[in-house]
């Protein structure tokens, strides 16, 4: 019988996508349970079907009123806590340096509890781990945990993904969970028109609140998926992904789709999608970066100061590389890594 392992990842779609290589490796040697937001069940069938998912919306992961204790779902939280303790996990872990996760690990009563301590949270852990370099990709924390469990820990460059689809359809996703990560729609519209003028087929997907804008702009076939399952169905029809620094880009990468990401307040070295063909445009400098999903200014200048004229040469080269299969010139390589 395999030992029982609890993995806590309570945040976004992209975070779960980054955890996917670890979850698959862990499932080879452990009976794995994942505590995550309810949308994890939509990802389960595609990415880790043998893993049990316990849905849990941790109130401290909400964007607003996260510490309004009176509004917390205490009954549900107690129920989840009781269930976790009854499972009698051999090992429980979190890849975040988050004391709230570590307190949850302690409540499970797991024999071994692994995590990256912060502000004294090592008192809740049996195996405190040294976090990766703060400039490293978040995937590196999963590699550290894998090594602590004697699991394979492949470098990002060695990860395997599904083969690229033969489709020549480009998916442009203009949404994101938070406004500070959304590049202006007008500029996406200009890029789409340029791609189509070159003969490329483009599918636009967006947040539900963006639908009216796109329809008014003359895009009748725009769609706003209502679930991860619907979004994954679209991913299966496309050859390339273009979008903001958000969960859909990470899903695309996990499905084997090369990605082109526009970053703003976050650092690409932390969160670029794991696919080896992932490319990006980095956000403009700001003294407060990285600032995650909160901005001190009325508009996120780090993202909004990226012009369409700046993005287009890089995007067109990205598309050419994959659809024309030509070798990139030295000039284009320099452009991509400026």
**pLDDT computed for residue 58 by the predictor:** 84
Residue pair 290/266 in contact by the 8 Å Cβ criterion: yes
Give pLDDT, residue 273. 97
Give the pLDDT confidence score for residue 164 in this predicted structure: 75
pLDDT-flagged residues of the chain (< 50): 326-338
144 and 265 co-located in one domain? no
pLDDT of residue 215: 96
pLDDT tens by residue, 104-146: 999 999 999 999 999 999 999 999 999 888 789 999 999 999 9
Q: Locate tokens 């316990």: which residue?
A: 54
Name the one residue in this structure whose structure tokens are 């999903």: 293
Number of domains in the chain: 2
Give the three-state DSSP class for 169: strand
pLDDT, position 253: 96
SS3 26: helix
Taking the C-alpha atoms of residue 290 and residue 83, their distance in angstroms, rounded to an integer, is 37
The residue segments making up the domain with residue 218 are 169-336
152 shares its domain with 271: no
Is 164 a member of any domain? Answer: no
Q: What is the pLDDT of residue 338?
A: 40
The pLDDT value given to residue 64: 64
Q: Are residues 29 and 119 in the same domain?
A: yes
Are residues 112 and 187 both part of a single domain?
A: no
For residues 162 and 13, give the distance between their C-alpha atoms in angstroms, rounded to a whole number. Answer: 19
What own/partner pairs with CB < 8 Å and gap ≥ 24 does 212-218 have? 213/185, 214/174, 214/185, 217/185, 217/189
Q: Where is 234: in which H helix or E strand?
A: helix 228-235
Look up residue 84 and give its two tokens: 């976790």
What gap in Å lies between CA 263 and CA 302, rounded to an integer?
Answer: 8
Q: Could you tell me the pTM of the whole model?
A: 0.90
10 and 136 in a single domain? The answer is yes
């Amino acid at each position: 019988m395999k030992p029982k392992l609890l993995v806590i990842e309570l945040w976004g779609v992209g975070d779960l996508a980054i955890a996917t290589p670890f979850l698959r490796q862990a499932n080879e040697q452990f009976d794995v349970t994942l505590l995550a937001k309810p949308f994890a069940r939509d990802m389960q069938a595609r990415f880790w079907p043998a893993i049990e998912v316990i849905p849990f919306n941790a109130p401290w992961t909400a964007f607003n009123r996260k510490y309004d204790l009176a509004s917390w779902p205490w009954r549900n939280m107690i129920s989840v806590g009781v269930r976790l303790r009854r499972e009698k996990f051999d090992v429980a872990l979190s890849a975040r340096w988050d004391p709230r996760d570590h307190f949850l690990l302690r409540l499970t009563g797991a024999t071994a509890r692994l995590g990256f301590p912060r502000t004294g949270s090592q008192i809740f852990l049996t195996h405190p781990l040294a976090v990766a370099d703060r400039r490293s990709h978040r995937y590196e924390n999963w590699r550290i945990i894998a090594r602590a469990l004697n699991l394979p820990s492949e470098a990002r460059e060695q990860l395997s993904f599904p083969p690229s689809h033969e489709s020549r359809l480009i998916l442009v996703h203009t949404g994101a969970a938070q406004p500070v990560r959304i590049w202006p729609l007008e500029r996406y519209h200009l890029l789409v028109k340029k791609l189509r003028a070159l003969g490329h087929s483009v599918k636009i997907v967006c947040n539900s609140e963006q639908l009216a804008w796109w329809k008014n702009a003359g895009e009748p076939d725009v769609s706003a998926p209502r679930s991860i399952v619907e979004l994954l169905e679209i991913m299966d029809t496309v050859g390339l992904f273009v979008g903001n620094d958000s969960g859909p880009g990470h899903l695309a990468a996990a499905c084997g789709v090369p990605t082109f990401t526009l970053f703003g307040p976050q650092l690409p070295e932390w969160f670029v999608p794991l696919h080896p063909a992932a490319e990006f445009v980095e956000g403009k400098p700001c003294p407060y970066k990285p600032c995650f999903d909160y901005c001190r200014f009325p508009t996120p200048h780090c993202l909004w100061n990226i012009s369409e004229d700046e993005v287009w040469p890089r995007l067109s080269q990205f598309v050419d590389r994959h659809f024309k299969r030509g070798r990139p010139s030295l000039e284009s390589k320099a452009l991509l890594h400026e």
